[in-house]
Amino acid sequence: MSHPVLKDAPGASVCMLGNHAIVRGALEAGLQFFSCYPGTPSSEVGDLLAQISKPAGVLFEYSINEKVAVEVAFAASLTGARSMCSMKHLGLNYAGDPISTMPYVGVEGGMVVVSAGDPSAITSPNEQDQRHFSRFLYYPVFDPATPADAYRMTRYAFEFSEKTRLPVIMRPTTRVCHTSGMVEYGPLSETRNEIRFTKNPPRYVPIPVNARRMRRELIDRFALAEELLGRSDFFPRHGSGTMGVIGSGVGYAYASEILNELGLFDRVSLLQIGAYPIPETILSEFLASVESVLVVEELTPYVEEIVSLNAFRHGRSIPVYGKNSGHFPVEFEYDPDMVEDAIRKFLQLEPRTVVEVALPELPPRPPVLCSGCPHRTSFYLARKVFGKNTVYVNDIGCYTLGYGEPLHSCDVLLCMGSSISQASGIARTTGKRTVAYIGDSTFFHSGLPPLANAVQANDDITVVILNNYITAMTGFQPSFSAWDSQYPDSSNNGQKDRGIVLLDAVKGLGVKEVFSVDPFDEAQTLDAFKKAKSGKGVNVVICNSPCAVHRVRVEPDGNRAPYIIDQDKCNACSLCVRVLGCPGIVVEDGVYFIDASMCDGCDLCAYVCNRDAIHQVEVREHA
C-alpha cells in the first residue's frame, strides 16, 4: 500500500504532521532532489522522504552533514532540479558557508532549505531565530503558523524560488513540526523540471569580479521577492478594529484563537506575517489603519523592530508593543496563556482569572541512557582507567547523557564535532591527556577535520568513538559507519565488519595508535584504554556495539535474556546503582532487583558486582 502522502486525491482532507505537510507541499510542487541531516525537530521531513522517495521519483540522501546536504541540493538545483534539504536550526549554522554565497549565485530549479527552530531549547543547546537570515543573507524566509501553512508555503516556495532565483528558507518551529493538523490536498505535480546543465562560468562562479555583479543583481532579486510576496496570501488580515495585533509563527495561531474565543475581532485587527521580507506596503497599510500595535512572535523582536521602522518611515507615530515593551519575555516559547495575558493588557481588559490548585511536588523523568546502551559500558570502563581527574569532553548525541550522576562523563560540551577540538585545546594548555567522546554519526559529520588537526598538532588526546552504527538520538537514521543500511541496493558494500569504514578513516588521517573493541568485551576494552592512557599523542579507541534499541528492532534474535539479582548474595551495597544508572535496576525498600521487562541483558551490572550476585536468567520468557 502506498503511503497516504503520495495519494493523488485533490481536495482530500488529511490530518498530518507539520513536517509531513512540508513533504506533501514539496511533492505537489514536483520535488526532484532531497538531502538532509537529521535533527530534532526537523527529522520527520527526511524520515518520510526516505520511505517514499523511490515511488515519488525523488533522488534522496541522508547527507553526512548539513553543509554537504545544502551543497548537493544546491548543485542539483543548478542542473534544473527542484530541490529541498532539511535540518534543525543549528544545522543551518553549520552550512553557513555555502548558505552565504548561494543567493549570490542563485538557483535554477527552485530550492527550499527547511531549517526547523527549537524555541525553549527543548532538544538543543540553544534557541535561535533563523528569520534573521532574511536580512542577514538575503533569504526569503517562510514562517508557518500551522501544518496547513507549512504545506501551502512549501508548495508555493519552489516556483517563487525560480522566479527570484533565490534559495528560500522554510522555518517551522517545534509546535508546527510536531503538530498534526488538517491539510487539504491539491493535485500532485505531473511535470518535472528538465535536467540540464549549461556551462556558463560567469553565472556559476562567484570569483570577485562576478561576485560584485551578483551582489547588485541580488538586491534587485530580493526586491522582486518582496513584490511577489506582496501578492501572496501569506499575510491575511482578520477583524475590523483599530487595535492592531501582528502575529508570526505559532504566536499568530495563539493570538487568532484567543481573539476568536474572546470575541474581540470588532475591536482588533489581526495581521499574520507568514514570510520575510515583509512587503512594505502590506505593513504600512495595516499600520495606517490602527492606533496601536501588539506584536506576537517568539525568539527575538524581529517583526517588532521592522514594524517600528516601517511606522517611522511612513510618519506613523503609534505605540508598538511586544518584547521590548515587556508585554512578552524575550526568551523561550510562548503559550496561549501568555498571549492572552498580553492581549488583555494591550486592550486594558480585566486580567484572566486563574484558579491555583496546590500540587504535591512531582518527580522529574529526565532522559537516561537506555538499559543495555553500549555507551554506558564504554563510559564506565573508560572512567575506571582514566579516573575522575581526567577531563571528559563530550559531543552531541545520546552519549551526552553521560552528563552528571552517575557516569560523570561529560565535563565540557559545545556543538557537533567539537569534542575533539576542545580536547585538543584543553590538553595543549593543561599538558594533561584529555578524553573526547564522539559518536559515529557525529564523527563523520564534523569530527574528521578536528582529528586531522589534532594529529598535526600531536595533541595528547584519546578520542573514544562510540560506534553504535546508527544516528540514534534523532530517531535511528542510518550512519555512514553502517554503509550497507544507508545504501541497501548499492553493490560496493558487502563488508561484514561495518566498523571497518571508521577504522580505515581514522588510520587514514594518520592516527598511529588505534584500537577497535567491543565494549562488552570488558577485558579487551580495559586493555585498550590502558594502552591509550599511557600512549603519546593522539590515539583512538573505537567502541563498536549496536544501539540497544535499534538492535532489537532489526535483529530477530536481538533480544538477550535478562539478568536477575540473587537476593542471597546481594548485600545491598548499592555499587551497581551508584556507578551505572541503568534504569533496569530497581530499588524498593532497600531491596535491589532487576525489572526483567526493562533489562536488556547487557551483562554490565553483573560485571560490576563484587559479590557475584547478578546472573543471566537461563531461558528468556517470551512475552
Partner 1 sequence: MHDNPKNGDFLLRILLAGTGGQGVITAARLLSEYFVRKGDQVLSAQLHGMAQRGGAVQSTVCVNSGISPALPRGGADVVLGCEPVEAARALPYVSADTIVFVNTAPIVPFVLSQNYVLESGPSEYPGLHALEKSLRAATLRVFPLDATKIAQDAGSLKTLNVVMLGCLFGSGVVPYPSQDFIDTIMVLAPPNLAETNTAAFKMGVEFAESLNVVEQVS
Residues that bind ligand SF4 (CB under 6 A): 369-373, 375, 398, 468, 472, 547-549, 563, 580, 582, 584-585, 594, 599-605
Nearest approach in angstroms of CB 472 to ligand SF4 is 4
Nearest approach in angstroms of CB 505 to partner 1 is 26
**∠ Cα 53 55 57 (to 5°):** 60
201 is in the binding site of which of ligand SF4, partner 1, none (Cβ under 5 to 8 A by kind)? Answer: none
Q: Side chain identity at 273, as an amino acid letter?
A: I
Cα torsion 48, 53, 54, 60 to 10°: value is: -120
Which residue from 195, 569, 586, 612 is in contact with partner 1, where contact means CB under 8 A? 586
Peptide bond into 277 cis (omega under 30): yes
Beta strands in 37-105 (DSSP E): 59-62, 83-88
- The answer to whether residues 511 and 539 touch, using CB atoms and an 8 Å cutoff, is yes
Residue 586: CA count within 13 A, CB half-sphere: 12
Helix, coil or strand: residue 169: strand
Q: Does 201 bind partner 1 (CB under 8 A)?
A: no
| Residue 293: closest CA among 312, 276, 279 | 312
Q: For ligand SF4, give the closer residue by CB, 504 or 595.
A: 595
Binding to partner 1, residues 407-426 (CB under 8 A): none
Q: Does 100 bind partner 1 (CB under 8 A)?
A: no
- Report how far apart, in Å, the C-alpha atoms of 541 and of each of 431, 499, 538 are: 20, 12, 10
594 is in the binding site of which of ligand SF4, partner 1, none (Cβ under 5 to 8 A by kind)? Answer: ligand SF4
Stretch that binds partner 1, among 27-35, 62-70, 488-496, 585-593 (CB under 8 A): 585-593
- Report how far apart, in Å, the C-alpha atoms of 386 and of each of 461, 527, 582 are: 12, 12, 21
337 is in the binding site of which of ligand SF4, partner 1, none (Cβ under 5 to 8 A by kind)? Answer: partner 1
Binding to partner 1, residues 67-96 (CB under 8 A): none
- The answer to whether residues 197 and 166 touch, using CB atoms and an 8 Å cutoff, is no
146 is in the binding site of which of partner 1, ligand SF4, none (Cβ under 5 to 8 A by kind)? Answer: partner 1
Distance of alpha carbon 223 from the chain centroid: 31
Q: Does 367 bind partner 1 (CB under 8 A)?
A: yes
Stretch that binds partner 1, among 275-283, 399-407, 495-503, 511-519 (CB under 8 A): 399-407
Q: For partner 1, give the closer residue by CB, 354 or 619.
A: 354
Q: For ligand SF4, give the closer residue by CB, 139 or 399.
A: 399
Q: Does 351 bind partner 1 (CB under 8 A)?
A: no
| Residue 382: closest CA among 572, 248, 215, 543 | 543
Which residue from 50, 398, 541, 614 is in contact with partner 1, where contact means CB under 8 A? 398
Nearest approach in angstroms of CB 418 to ligand SF4 is 19
601 is in the binding site of which of ligand SF4, partner 1, none (Cβ under 5 to 8 A by kind)? Answer: ligand SF4
Nearest approach in angstroms of CB 330 to ligand SF4 is 33
- The answer to whether residues 514 and 538 touch, using CB atoms and an 8 Å cutoff, is no
| Residue 34: closest CA among 3, 81, 73, 7 | 73
C-alpha cell, 553: 528492532
Q: For ligand SF4, give the closer residue by CB, 398 or 613.
A: 398
Q: For ligand SF4, give the closer residue by CB, 140 or 372.
A: 372
Supply φ then ψ for residue 165, to 5 degrees: 55, 20
Which residue from 405, 557, 568, 621 is in contact with partner 1, where contact means CB under 8 A? 405
Nearest approach in angstroms of CB 439 to ligand SF4 is 8
Distance of alpha carbon 565 from the chain centroid: 40
Nearest approach in angstroms of CB 352 to partner 1 is 8
Nearest approach in angstroms of CB 372 to ligand SF4 is 4
Helix, coil or strand: residue 268: strand
Q: Does 182 bind partner 1 (CB under 8 A)?
A: yes
Q: Which helix (H) or strand (E) holds 346?
A: helix 336-346
Q: For ligand SF4, give the closer residue by CB, 540 or 602.
A: 602
- The answer to whether residues 167 and 103 touch, using CB atoms and an 8 Å cutoff, is yes
Site string for partner 1, 138-157 (x = CB under 8 A): -------xx-----------
- How many residues contact partner 1, by CB under 8 A? 62
257 is in the binding site of which of partner 1, ligand SF4, none (Cβ under 5 to 8 A by kind)? Answer: partner 1
> Any idea what DSSP says for residue 405?
T
Q: Which helix (H) or strand (E) holds 430?
A: helix 418-430
Please state whether beta strands 268-273 and 243-248 pair in parallel, antiparallel, or not at all (unpaired): parallel
Binding to partner 1, residues 453-492 (CB under 8 A): 472-476
**∠ Cα 372 374 380 (to 5°):** 100
C-alpha cell, 436: 573526547
Q: For partner 1, give the closer residue by CB, 64 or 398.
A: 398
Binding to partner 1, residues 110-129 (CB under 8 A): 122-123
Distance CA 355, CA 40 (A): 35
Which residue from 102, 150, 225, 253 is in contact with partner 1, where contact means CB under 8 A? 253
- The answer to whether residues 450 and 409 touch, using CB atoms and an 8 Å cutoff, is no
Supply φ then ψ for residue 42, to 5 degrees: -95, -15
360 is in the binding site of which of partner 1, ligand SF4, none (Cβ under 5 to 8 A by kind)? Answer: partner 1
Nearest approach in angstroms of CB 406 to ligand SF4 is 12
Nearest approach in angstroms of CB 147 to partner 1 is 9
Distance CA 446, CA 514 (A): 19
Q: Side chain identity at 583, as an amino acid letter?
A: P
372 is in the binding site of which of ligand SF4, partner 1, none (Cβ under 5 to 8 A by kind)? Answer: ligand SF4
Across-strand partners of 255? none
| Residue 268: closest CA among 248, 288, 242, 305 | 242
C-alpha cell, 498: 561495518
Q: For partner 1, give the closer residue by CB, 17 or 438.
A: 17
C-alpha cell, 387: 579516573
563 is in the binding site of which of partner 1, ligand SF4, none (Cβ under 5 to 8 A by kind)? Answer: ligand SF4
Interface with partner 1 (CB under 8 A): 13-15, 40, 122-123, 145-146, 175-176, 178-182, 250, 253-254, 256-258, 260-261, 335-337, 340, 352, 354-355, 357-370, 398, 401, 405-406, 472-476, 549, 574, 577, 581, 583, 585-588
